[in-house]
Amino acid sequence: MTQSIAPVPMTEVWRGALLESLHLGHAVICDAQGGILRAWGDPRAVIYPRSSCKMIQALPLLTSGAAEKYGLGSEHLALACASHNGAAIHTNRVRAWLDRLGLDDDAFRCGPQVPDDEAARNALIRAFEAPCQVHNNCSGKHAGFLTLCQHMGAGPDYVAIDHPVQQAALAAFEEVTDETSPGHGIDGCSAPNFACTLQGLARAMAWFASAEDRGDRASAAASRLVAAMIRHPELVAGEGRACTELMRAMDGRAAIKTGAEGVFVAILPERRLGVAVKIADGATRASECAIASILVGLGVLDAEHPATRKRTNAPLLNRRGIDTGCIRPAAGLL
DSSP letters for 269-292: TTTTEEEEEEETT--HHHHHHHHH
- pLDDT tens digits for the chain (334 residues)? 456 799 999 999 999 999 999 999 999 999 999 999 999 999 999 999 999 999 999 999 999 999 999 999 999 999 999 999 999 999 999 999 999 999 999 999 999 999 999 999 999 999 999 999 999 999 999 999 999 999 999 999 999 999 999 999 999 999 999 999 999 999 999 999 999 999 999 999 999 999 999 999 999 999 999 999 999 999 999 999 999 999 999 999 999 999 999 999 999 999 999 999 999 999 999 999 999 999 999 999 999 999 999 999 999 999 999 999 999 999 998 7
CA 59-60-63 angle, 5° bins: 90
Residue 156 lies in a domain: yes
Residue 1 lies in a domain: no
Distance, first Cα to last Cα, the chain: 31
Count other Cβ atoms within 10 Å, centred on residue 240. Answer: 12
Residue 294 lies in a domain: yes
Residue 297 lies in a domain: yes
In three-state secondary structure terms, 115 is coil
In three-state secondary structure terms, 25 is strand
Residue 89 lies in a domain: yes
- How many domains does the structure of the chain reveal? 1
- Which runs of consecutive H residues, i.e. helices, occur in the chain? 54-57, 59-63, 66-69, 74-80, 88-101, 118-126, 139-152, 164-177, 198-209, 217-231, 233-236, 242-250, 284-297, 306-309
**Structural domain that includes position 211:** 8-333
Residue 229 lies in a domain: yes
Residue 2 lies in a domain: no
Q: What is the pTM of this model?
A: 0.97
We report the CATH number of the domain holding residue 116 as: 3.40.710
Alpha-carbon dihedral sign for residues 226, 165, 30, 293: positive
Residue 192 lies in a domain: yes
Count other Cβ atoms within 10 Å, centred on residue 248. Answer: 14
Give the tens place of pLDDT for each residue, 96-134. 999 999 999 999 999 999 999 999 999 999 999 999 999
Judge whether 93 and 215 are in contact, CB under 8 Å: no
**CA separation for the pair 287, 264 (Å, rounded):** 6
